[in-house]
């Protein structure tokens, strides 16, 4: 029997009618049975400042605990102004600090997103890859997943009416599950988050 993995997922949009929230539901529907999903909420986080580092508020502590309790992290996000939405970047900043306690270190990650436009969040994903590299978080490199959202292809509960889209999402989640398994197989337990890259900028 396949081992079960806990996946914490971020939805990068705070909008009530978010197409990326719909995409997250579709991804969960099409994921292998051995992945268990828990959303890591971002909407109640204050704007991060290192003034909080000495005493994180409950929202910041809960976020870090949720990341650390996850075997893998999945980001499902829109692209805002050709980059990462502010709310999601703020959550990542919270998870990365205080210095020396970066919760993302060595966590296998996947990045996927939808937009109504043709490039399907490609530029946001490129920005995310730079951020996650700096945070020492391994990323699923292939397949890439740039979803052009067509409302007729998705129901509000993540039902997918178009078979080629359903098949792609299934394939993406199977590859993500295999990637999580591979990364965890080489990352010794107990070492997650115990070291930051030896980069002097991190300590500034
Ligand atoms: C957008 N949108 C957008 N789309 C895109 O493909 N590239 C972009 O750079 C942007 N920039 C952008 C900025 C801001 C502030 C907003 C509000 C929107 C359009 C965006 O893809 C669309 O609104 C999606 O519906 C956003 O995803 P959610 O929030 O519905 O999940």
CA distances 64 to 9, 57, 67, Å, are 13, 11, 5
State pLDDT tens for residues 102-149. Answer: 999 999 999 999 999 999 999 999 999 999 999 999 999 999 999 999
Q: Which of 23, 27, 39, 78, when mutated, tests ligand 1's pocket best, judged by the most ligand atoms within 8 Å of its CB?
A: 78
Give the pLDDT of residue 2.
82
Q: Which of 115, 118, 126, when mutated, tests ligand 1's pocket best, judged by the most ligand atoms within 8 Å of its CB?
A: 115
- CB atoms inside a 10 Å sphere around CB 133: 12
Q: For residue 89, give both structure tokens.
A: 């970047």
Instruction: Please give all residues whose beta carbon lies within 6 A of any atom in ligand 1, as ranges.
Output: 13, 15, 18-20, 78-82, 115-117
CA of 27 to the centre of ligand 1 (A): 20
Q: For residue 72, give both structure tokens.
A: 């893998």
Give the pLDDT of residue 188.
55
Q: Smallest Cα–Cα separation from 87: which of 44, 27, 125?
A: 44
User: Which of the 8 DSSP states describes residue 142?
Assistant: S
Give the pLDDT of residue 129.
98
Q: Which residues of the chain have pLDDT under 70?
A: 1, 188-204
């Amino acid at each position: 029997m396949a081992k079960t993995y806990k996946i914490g997922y971020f939805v990068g949009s705070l909008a009530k009618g978010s197409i990326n929230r719909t995409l997250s539901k579709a991804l969960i529907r099409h994921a292998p049975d051995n992945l268990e999903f828990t959303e890591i909420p971002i909407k109640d986080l204050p704007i991060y400042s290192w003034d909080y580092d000495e005493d994180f508020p409950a929202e910041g502590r809960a976020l870090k605990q949720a990341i650390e309790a996850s075997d893998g992290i999945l980001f499902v996000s829109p692209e805002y102004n050709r980059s990462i939405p502010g709310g999601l970047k703020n959550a990542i900043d919270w998870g990365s600090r205080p210095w020396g306690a970066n919760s993302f270190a060595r966590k296998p990650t996947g990045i996927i997103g939808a937009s109504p436009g043709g490039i399907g969040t490609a530029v946001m994903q490129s920005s995310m890859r730079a951020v996650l590299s700096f945070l020492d978080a391994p990323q699923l490199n292939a397949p890439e997943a740039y979803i052009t959202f067509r409302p007729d292809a998705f129901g509000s509960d993540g039902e997918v009416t178009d078979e080629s889209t359903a098949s792609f999402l299934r394939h993406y989640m199977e590859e993500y599950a295999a990637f999580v398994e591979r990364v965890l197989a080489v990352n010794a337990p107990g070492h997650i988050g115990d070291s930051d890259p030896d980069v002097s900028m991190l300590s500034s």
